[in-house]
């Protein structure tokens, strides 16, 4: 990957740009429209939102007013936790499309595998949800369908009844939390892996190993973390709110971490995940 506009190819042939712009916590306001248009001006072509982020209107406004053709952008949204099951998914998808104000979605994900509302009957509920995803995909309303926060046992349960295999899994992934089992499973099953919180929410920028490696390449810890993601063939989804940070996070294609750097970064694994576990998350 040599630029923000380089892409991986999903198992169904659809291209997915190698870095996405994260939007969690950006408000549903004009400021967010401006931030996303800034990101697009800087070369980002892939935007990650979700119904639960309550900012789909702003994302849609930015997409519609940025001056690019719709097919030059890759837009992802995610199904909200209380809306699993066939009927709910169909209704929820319509709400997302109304919010965004666009004709089709590039990627739709089940946000979490086992919401608290469906904690006991999650397998059969996900069966209905996925059936709706498959129909929306076959109708051309979504270019690709996938999962988020699905671990191996969640994917295997889904695959018992799926007729179309998921093309993506979006996971918390960074040097503190490497999820080897799920990552290996996804790679074995031709699923592209997206990395959420790829900057560890900014919490590890002063870690001595990141500071040292950043200094070595005259880069920042944020750029080292994004390189780590790219060199693992993940699609990182960095979120940032200023032009400087948006540009900084895009400027990651002119250096390569060595095997020794990546080995040294394994020390961060002791710090662990930042988000909840998909089986016990209280939402």
Q: Which one of the spans 58-66, 177-185, 244-252, 255-263 is the region binding ligand NAP (CB under 6 A)? A: 244-252
Within positions 50 to 89, which residues make up the interface with ligand NAP, using CB under 6 A?
none
- Of 23 and 126, which CB lies nearer to ligand NAP in the complex structure? 23
- Nearest approach in angstroms of CB 195 to ligand NAP is 8
In the list 81, 83, 129, 149, the residue contacting ligand NAP (rule: CB under 6 A) is 149
In the list 96, 148, 182, 229, the residue contacting ligand NAP (rule: CB under 6 A) is 148
List 77's β-bridge partners, or say none. 108
- Nearest approach in angstroms of CB 77 to ligand NAP is 10
Q: Which one of the spans 156-164, 176-184, 185-193, 241-249 is the region binding ligand NAP (CB under 6 A)? A: 241-249
Q: Is 199 in the site for ligand NAP (CB under 6 A)?
A: yes
Phi, psi of 221 (to 5 degrees): -55, -35
d(CA 170, CA 264): 25
Catalytic pick among 44, 51, 53, 137: 53
Q: Are 168 and 147 in contact (CB under 8 A)?
A: yes
Burial class (CB in 10 A: 0-12, 13-18, 19+), 162: middle
Q: Is 228 in the site for ligand NAP (CB under 6 A)?
A: no
User: Which residue's entry shows tokens 């040097």?
Assistant: 175
Number of residues counted as binding ligand NAP (CB under 6 A): 25
Is 53 a residue of the active site?
yes
In the list 137, 198, 214, 265, the residue contacting ligand NAP (rule: CB under 6 A) is 198
Task: Name the residues that contact ligand NAP, by CB under 6 A.
Answer: 22-24, 48, 111, 148-149, 170, 196-202, 222, 237-242, 245, 248-249
Give the residue numbers annotated as catalytic, written as ranges: 53
């Amino acid at each position: 990957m040599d630029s923000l506009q380089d892409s991986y190819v999903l198992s169904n042939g659809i291209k997915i740009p190698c870095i996405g712009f994260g939007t969690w916590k950006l408000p549903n306001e004009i400021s967010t429209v401006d931030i996303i248009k800034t990101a697009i001006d800087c070369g980002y072509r892939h935007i990650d939102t979700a119904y639960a982020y309550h900012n789909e209107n702003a994302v849609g406004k930015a997409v519609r007013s940025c001056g690019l053709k719709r097919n030059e952008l890759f837009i992802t949204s995610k199904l909200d936790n209380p809306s699993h099951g066939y009927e709910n998914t169909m209704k929820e998808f319509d709400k997302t499309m109304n919010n965004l104000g666009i004709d089709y979605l590039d990627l739709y994900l089940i946000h979490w595998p086992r919401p608290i509302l469906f904690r006991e009957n999650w397998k059969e509920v996900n069966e209905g949800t996925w059936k709706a995803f498959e129909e929306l995909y076959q109708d051309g309303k979504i270019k690709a369908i996938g999962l988020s926060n699905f671990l191996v046992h969640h994917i295997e349960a889904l695959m018992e009844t799926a007729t179309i295999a998921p093309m993506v899994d979006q996971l918390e992934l960074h040097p503190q939390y490497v999820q080897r089992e799920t990552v290996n499973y996804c790679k074995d099953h031709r699923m592209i892996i997206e990395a959420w919180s790829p900057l560890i929410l900014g919490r590890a920028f002063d870690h001595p190993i990141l500071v040292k490696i950043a200094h070595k390449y005259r880069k920042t810890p944020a750029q080292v973390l994004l390189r780590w993601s790219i060199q693992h063939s993940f699609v990182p989804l960095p979120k940032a709110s200023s032009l400087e940070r948006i540009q900084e996070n895009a400027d990651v294609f002119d250096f390569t971490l060595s095997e020794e750097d990546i080995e040294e970064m394994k020390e961060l694994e002791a710090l662990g995940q930042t988000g909840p576990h998909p089986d016990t998350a209280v939402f």
